[in-house]
Amino acid sequence: MEGFCSKDIDDLLSLNPSAAEWRRLLQWLHVSGLALYFFDRLTSLQLSDCLSPAIHEELEQALANNTLRSKVFLEETLRLNRAFQDEGVLYANLKGITLCPFSVPRMELRSQLDLDFLVDPACAERARAILERCGYRLHAVSGKSMEFKTPGHSSPRLSDLYKVTPHRSVELHLAPEGSPRLHRVEWIQRDGLSIPS
């Protein structure tokens, strides 16, 4: 595996993993969230043909699926942002949509599992009511975080990692009392909407 860390492209090209090694490597790439970045990098270097046809097809399909999934996540993020703003909730988006293009070159390369918001504790009940009106139910509370999920049984499988599914998850993280973080937000534009991050 050390060849994947090498800066010398010849080292990478000289690797010849067996089918079993590719399966293990691919599983690790998917679980670590690096599979689509890896595929994108090979494609940008015009080296994706070095992959076996089955691996190439799997990664290509994963990217196509995740492109659709990212679009659905964006739509849901914007819907919740509008709802929070309409109700005057003091909040900020965390991770997800805020990472592109600063940390993530393209959203479809990132494996995203949920939406995260930082919320002023004084607005927590209002935010909870909004999420419930939007179809979410409180699933768990841990410290100053609340996890909400859409109803129905969800059994996450690696094979569904990049697919659009009907199940959604949102985490509300309560800002510490008196924290200035929510007053130092940066507003970013996404599809015609200004959102705090």
What are the tens digits of pLDDT across the range 75-92?
999 999 999 999 999 999
**pLDDT given at position 135:** 96
Q: How far lies 75's CA from each of 66, 70, 80, 145, 186, in Å?
A: 14, 9, 9, 23, 20
Question: What's the whole-number mean pLDDT along residues 38-63?
Answer: 92
Q: Could you read off the pLDDT of 131-158 as tens digits, one per residue?
A: 999 999 999 999 999 999 998 766 667 7
Three-state DSSP at 177 gives coil
What angle in degrees, to the nearest 10, is found between the helix axes of 124-133 and 53-86? 120
Residues above pLDDT 90, as percent of the chain: 66
Where residue 117 falls among pLDDT bands split at 50, 70, 90? very high
Where residue 12 falls among pLDDT bands split at 50, 70, 90? low
Where residue 14 falls among pLDDT bands split at 50, 70, 90? low
Q: Which residue ranges form the domains of the chain, and what is each CATH number? A: 2-62 (no CATH), 71-196 (3.30.460.40)
Residue showing tokens 């290509």:
60
Query: What pTM value is reported for the model?
Result: 0.86
Where residue 9 falls among pLDDT bands split at 50, 70, 90? low
**pLDDT given at position 185:** 93
